[in-house]
Amino acid sequence: MSALIQLNNVTKNYRRGKEGIAIFDGLTMSIEKGDFVAIMGPSGSGKTTLLNLLGGTDRCDGGQIIFDGERIDGYSEGQLAAWRARSVGFIFQFYNLMPVLTAAQNVELPLMLTKLPAKKRRDNVATALKIVELSDRAKHKPKELSGGQQQRVAIARAIVSDPKLLLCDEPTGDLDRNTANDILRTLQQLNRELGKTIIMVTHDPEAARFANRTLHLDKGSFAEVTA
């Protein structure tokens, strides 16, 4: 396997008032194509910041971020937005669906950034909803769906434009155990059957067990790697 995403000597600092806080000071890591990685660690360890850097929603202060052989750390805002649209699918803890849109319309959102014709868009939406087994809920609004169903819609939204990378921020943090396991099995299926590279931040060791490997992040560096 070759690296899909690679961080070389990445630094990231935040300012809190006059105080500067170093989150990462020379972080280096690599995620292979087709991998399913869980990232665990205590609060404040930098898990979400790492996810933001990997997803191009935040910028590093130094170092290199290379995606599929291409440096993205120097991209402009517009280039990053276009890159996210074609390369990354995001799954959030609280689903973050648009309440005014139906499930199908929420799934269609990333396709608004493509030049696909309307019919092809509809077909892709239908396929994505079928993968997450929610075809019969296409016309339902988020408030008419359970938490698990909403997260499935979010997964469909994340995969509809066929990105190489899925970034999941506590995807089961708001769900009961059984529903969480269903969601995790779906992610596992996406990884195994569709070859999606998945990076999942979680506090839940049970959830981490669905990943191929787990990275433990502490104080800005990977303290431990478990298989």
Name the site residues for another protein (rule: CB under 8 A). Answer: 52, 55, 57-58, 77-78, 81-86, 90, 92, 96, 98-101, 105, 108-110, 112-113, 157
Tokens of 143: 């408030």
Q: Among residues 145, 150, 199, 203, which one has the least CA distance to residue 173?
A: 203
Nearer to another protein, 84 or 214 (CB): 84
Contact 102, 141 (CB under 8 A): yes
- CA 102 from chain centre, in angstroms, equals 22
Taking the least distance from each CB to another protein, the nearer of 166 and 214 is 166
Nearer to another protein, 84 or 137 (CB): 84
- The full length of the chain comes to 227
Q: Name which of 8 and 114 has its Cβ closer to another protein.
A: 114
Q: If DSSP codes are grouped into helix, strand and coil, which group holds residue 202?
A: coil
Distance of closest approach, residue 116 Cβ to another protein, in angstroms: 12
Helix (H, G, I), strand (E, B) or coil at 164: coil
Across the beta sheet with 3-16, the strand order is: 19-32, 3-16, 62-67, 70-71
Cβ(49)–Cβ(219) below 8 Å: no
Q: How far is the CB of 177 from another protein (least distance, A)?
A: 26
Give the whole-angstrom CA distance, residue 212 versus residue 36.
Answer: 5
Question: What are the structure tokens assigned to 202, written together?
Answer: 């979680």
Amino acid type, 115: K
Token couple for 122: 């509809």
Task: Tell me the closest approach of the beta carbon of residue 118 to another protein, in angstroms.
Answer: 9
- Whole-number minimum distance, CB 201 to another protein, in Å? 13
Cα 70 to Cα 6: distance, rounded to the nearest angstrom: 10
> Which CB, 5 or 214, lies closer to another protein?
5
Which residue, 81 or 225, has its beta carbon nearer to another protein?
Answer: 81
